[in-house]
Amino acid sequence: MKTGFFAYSGQPRSVGESIEEAINLINGSGVAALKSWRNYVVNGKLIIDEVSRAIDEADCFCADLTGFSDNVLFELGYAIAKSKPIFLILDYSHIESIRRYRELSSLTTIGYQKYVNSAEILAAFASFASDFQAQNRVKRKQSSVSNKPLVFVKNQFDTPYSRAITNKIVESRIPYIVDDASENQVQPIEWYLHQLNNAALIEFSATSRRGYELQNSKCSLVGGLAFGYGLDLLMIAEEPYEVPIDYRDLLITYDNKQRCEEVVTEFLAPLKLKLLDYYSQQDTSRKIKKKVTELQKISFGEFLAEHESEELADYYVETFNLSTLIKNDYNIVIGRKGTGKTATLYYLKSFLENDNRNHICLIKPVNFEIDALVKILQVSSEEYERSYLVESAWKLLIYTEVAKSIYLKTILKPLYALSSAESEFKSFIDKNSELFLKDFSERLEEELENIRQSKMMNKDEKFSEFKIKLAEIMHEETLASIRNLLSNLFDKDRKIFVLIDNLDKSWKKDNKLALQSEWILGLLGVTGRIVRELSSFRVRGQQKKIDFHLTVFLRSDIFKYILGKAREPDKIEYSNLLKLGDKDVLFRIIEERFVELSSNEMLPESLWNKYIVESVDSTSTKDYIYERIIPRPRDIIYFFKNAHENAISRGHSIITEEDLKLAYNNYSSWVFTSMMVENGVNIAQLKEFLYHLVGQHQIVDKTTLFAAMCDANLPDSEEFLDNLIEHLATLSIVGKEVAENQFEFEYAFDSKDLINAKSRRVNSNRYKIHNALVPLLDLIDQSET
C-alpha cells in the first residue's frame, strides 16, 4: 500500500478537522496509508527531523494550502526537492487563500484540487492515487556551468539590513545571483530549481513591513527546497518575526545591524573556503558530455538583465544606434519597467570596455534613505540654495564613485607594476578611505547628516557664505586634489564614462515628489559643472583636460514627472529605448537569443520549424503570445522561458499547445506581481481593487470600476475614480475605447495624450482589462464584435 504525508495549517480550525476526517476515510478505504504532521508532535512540539524523515519515507506528499502556512510551504519545498508526487488541495470558499495562491501560482506551478468537505478530499485523492507515477513531480532542470554558487533571496525592500547583507556578500567575493523582490516579487519555480546548487541566503521580512506575507511565503518554499537539496543554508529575518515551528532551529533573527552582519559573515566564511571545490566542479562539468534532449539544448536566457549581466553582450539586440547614448556630455535613456534599460546599460558597458582607453564607472545606488534628503531640502525656501546643495552632493558622489572604481582596478595590480601616477593616486585614496571607499548610500547619508547638524540651511546669511560652508562640508579641496591626480592617469586619448541606474529605487510618492525631482534634475545640472571643470584646468602650471561623459537610465514615468518640474523641458534630450508594441522587434529578441544560446548552430527559422507548435487553438503561435503579453522584452522572454521549462518538465519533445497555455497562466500571475511592484505606493489598495474584479467581464464600464473601488475601501469620489483609471491605463492594466469595440493601451511613453483624445472623441466610458490578466482574475473573455 502506498504511503503519504499530509501537511496542513492549524488555522482555520475547520481545515484540520476536514483533513483528519479525510485521512481516516482514505486509510479506511485501503487506497493509501496517510499520516499528518500531528502524528509527529513530541511533547507538544513538532520536530523538523521527524517531519523531514516522514516525507522522505512517504510515497507521496499531500498538502492543504488553505491559510498559506509558512510551515506547509517549507514542507512543500522540501518534498519538491525530494521529487515526491505532489497532491495539493485548497478550500475554495476561503477567499484570502485563493488570492494568495494566485500571487504564488508561478512559484508552485502545481495545480490544486478544490474542496469544502472531507468527502471531496477523498474523491480527489482517490483520483490522484490511481496512478502515482503519472502525478505531479517538479523536475529539477539540469544545472548550468554558469550558475553562481550562492543564491541571495533578498527582502522586498532595500532596508539597511538588506544593504548590509549585500555589502558583506560583495566583500566576500563569492559569485552570487540575487532574487530581488523589489524587481520581481516571485520568480518561476524553475528558476530556483535551476539556480539552487551550492548555497542559499534567504532574507525573510519582518512582519511589521508591508508585503511580508508574500515575501515570507516565497522564502519558506525556497528555504524548503534548499534544505531538501542539502545546500549550505542561512535563513534570517529582521525582528519582529515569529519563527515557524518547522524551521525554528534553522532561522536566525536580529534587531540591529551589527548582529545581522555577524550572522552573515559567519555563514559566508566557510563558503569562501569551498570556492576552490566549486570551480573544480565547474571545470569537471565542462569536460563531461551530458546526455540531454534536443529541446534541452535550446535556451532563451534570463528575463532579468541582472541575472545575465556577464553573458548579455553576446545576444543583446540593438534597437537603435548605441552611439546616441554617449554622444553628449550627459545623456538620458528612458524606458518603462521591463523595456530593457538595465540590459542596455550592461551592453553599453561591455561595448565601451572593448576600448581599453575607456574607464567605465557603473553607479547603481542601493536605496538610500531619501527621507534625509527631503528633510534638508524642506528647510530652505530658497530654490538656489536647494539647487546648489543637490548639485554639490551629486558632485561629491560622482567624483568619489569614479575614484573608487579606478582604485579598485588599481589594487588588482602588483605593487611593482604600478606607475608613479598610480602609486600616488592609490596612496591618496588609502589616506582618505573614509570618504572614498564607503558604500554610495552610506557616504551620501553621512554628508547629509553633516549638513543637518551645521544648521546652515536655515540661517539668514549671504549665498556666498553658504557656498563657502557647503564647500567645506562637501570636501571641495579633496575633490580638487583627486581631479589633479586623475589628470595624470587620463591623457587626451582616454575617457571616463559614468553609467547610472537604479535611481527609481528611492522614488517614493509619500516623500514630496517635487523635492525628489530636484534631486534627479540636480544630477543633470551638475554634469555640466563637472564637464566644465574637467575640460580645462591647470596642475602646476600645466593645462589639463579629462574627457567625461555621463549616461543615466531612468524609468519613463519618473522622467515624465521631473520633466514637468524642469525650467526648460524642451532642452532636455533623451533616448526612448523601445517603441513598445513593436512585434517584429520583440520576436527578433527571442530569435537572437535562441540562436546565440542554443548549443547547436541554428537559424532563427529553426525555432518555429522544429521546437514549437505552429498554432494554438487555430491562432498562429506568434499571434497567440503577442496578444497575451504586455509587449516588452522582459515579458516575452519570461513567456518563452516558462513555456520551454514547462515542456522539459513534462517530457515533451517540442513546446506544445499545453505548454504555451500553462505559460500564459503562469505569466498572468507573474505580470500581476510585476505590476504591483511598478505601482509602488501610488495606490496602496490597488491589489485589493483588482481582486474585486475577479469573475467580471473583460470589458468593464465606469460603474463596475466604481463598485470595485468602493469594495476595496478606496475614496468613493468621481475625481479619485478618474485618477485611478488614468493610473490603471499608465500601467497598461486597462485600455481605453478609441472606436467602437476598439481599445488602445498606453504602451509608449508619449501615447497617453493621443489615446485620451481619441477616447474623448467617441465619448466612451468603457475599458478593456488587458489579456495578460485574464487568467489570474478569471475574467470572462469577450470577443470584440
**Cα-only R_g, the chain:** 28
pLDDT(286) > 60: no
**Please, what is the angle between helix 583-597 and helix 633-649, to 10°?**
50
Assess whether 616 and 533 both reside in one domain: no
Q: Do 596 and 700 belong together in one domain?
A: no
Under 8 Å CB-to-CB from 527, ≥6 apart: which residues? 329, 330, 550
Residue 555, pLDDT > 60, answer yes
Give the per-residue pLDDT at 371.
56
Torsion from C-alpha of 375, 380, 383, 387, nearest 10 degrees: -50
Of 81-85, 184-188, 417-421, 583-587, the range with the lowest mean pLDDT is: 184-188
Whether residue 69 is predicted with pLDDT greater than 80 in this model: the reply is yes
**Residue 528 and residue 611 share a domain:** no
What's the CATH code of the domain at 608?
Answer: 1.10.8
Q: State the angle between helix axes of 212-229 and 70-81 in degrees (0 to 180), rounded to the nearest 10.
A: 30
Which pLDDT tens digit goes with each residue over 520-552?
Answer: 888 877 888 888 888 888 888 788 888 888 898
CA distance 75 to 71: 6
Q: What is the pLDDT of residue 462?
A: 60
User: What average pLDDT does this structure show over 497-526?
Assistant: 75
CB 424 within 8 A of CB 485: yes
Reported as a single tens digit per residue, the pLDDT across 143-179 is 444 468 999 999 988 888 998 999 899 888 898 999 9
Answer yes or no: do 389 and 480 share one domain.
yes
With a pLDDT cut of 70, the percent of the chain lying above it is 83
Do 255 and 355 lie in a common domain?
Answer: no
Reported as a pLDDT band with limits 50, 70 and 90, residue 288 is: very low
Tell me if 770 sits within 8 A of 736, measured CB to CB. Answer: no
Q: Inform me whether the pLDDT recorded for 111 exceeds 80.
A: no
- Highest mean pLDDT (candidates 328-337, 445-454, 458-467, 723-732): 723-732
Whether omega before 240 lies within 30 degrees of 0, making that bond cis, reads yes
Q: Quick one: average pLDDT of 286-307?
A: 67
Does 590 share its domain with 736? no
> Is residue 312 situated within a structural domain?
no
Question: Apex CA 74: angle with CA 71 and CA 77, to 5°?
Answer: 150
Domain's final residue, options 637, 665, 693: 665
Q: Which of 36-45, 388-397, 422-431, 485-494 has the lowest mean pLDDT?
A: 36-45
CATH for 42: 3.40.50.450
Domain boundaries, position 203: 150-289
Looking at the fold, whether 735 and 686 belong to one and the same domain comes out as yes
The verdict on 544 and 606 lying in the same domain is: no
Residue 338 lies in a domain: yes
- Residue 381 belongs to a domain: yes
DSSP assignments along 119-175, one per residue: HHHHHHHHHHHTTGGGS---PPPPPPTT--SEEEEE-SS--HHHHHHHHHHHHHT--
Between 300 and 655, where is the model more confident?
Answer: 655
Least confident piece of the model among 154-168, 343-357, 384-398, 581-595 = 384-398
Q: State the CATH number of the domain containing residue 256.
A: 3.40.50.2300
Q: What angle do CA 56, 58, 64 make, to 5 degrees?
A: 100
In a domain, 306, yes or no: no
Domain membership flag for residue 469: yes
Q: Is residue 167 part of a domain?
A: yes
Residue 182 maps to a domain: yes
Q: Mutual orientation of helices 463-473 and 383-410 as an angle, nearest 10°?
A: 20
- Kind and range of the H or E run holding 356: none
Number of domains the chain contains = 5
Q: Are residues 397 and 507 in the same domain?
A: yes
Strand partners, 199: 150, 232
Lookup result for grid cell 519597467: 337
Judged by average pLDDT, the poorest of 199-203, 319-323, 697-701, 711-715 is 319-323
Same domain? For 431 and 496 the reply is yes
Quick one: pLDDT at residue 745? 94
What pTM did the predictor assign?
Answer: 0.75
User: Domain check: are 722 and 766 in the same one?
Assistant: yes
- Determine contact, residues 281/161, Cβ cutoff 8 Å: no
Q: What is the pLDDT of residue 283?
A: 55
CB of 305 within 8 A of CB of 346? Answer: yes
Mean pLDDT of the residues in the chain: 83
Q: Report if residue 57 sits inside a domain.
A: yes
Angle between helices 95-108 and 657-679 (to 10 degrees): 110
The per-residue pLDDT for 628 is: 96
Same domain, 333 and 218: no
Phi and psi, residue 163, nearest 5°: -65, -40
Q: How far apart are CA 281 and CA 669, in angstroms?
A: 36
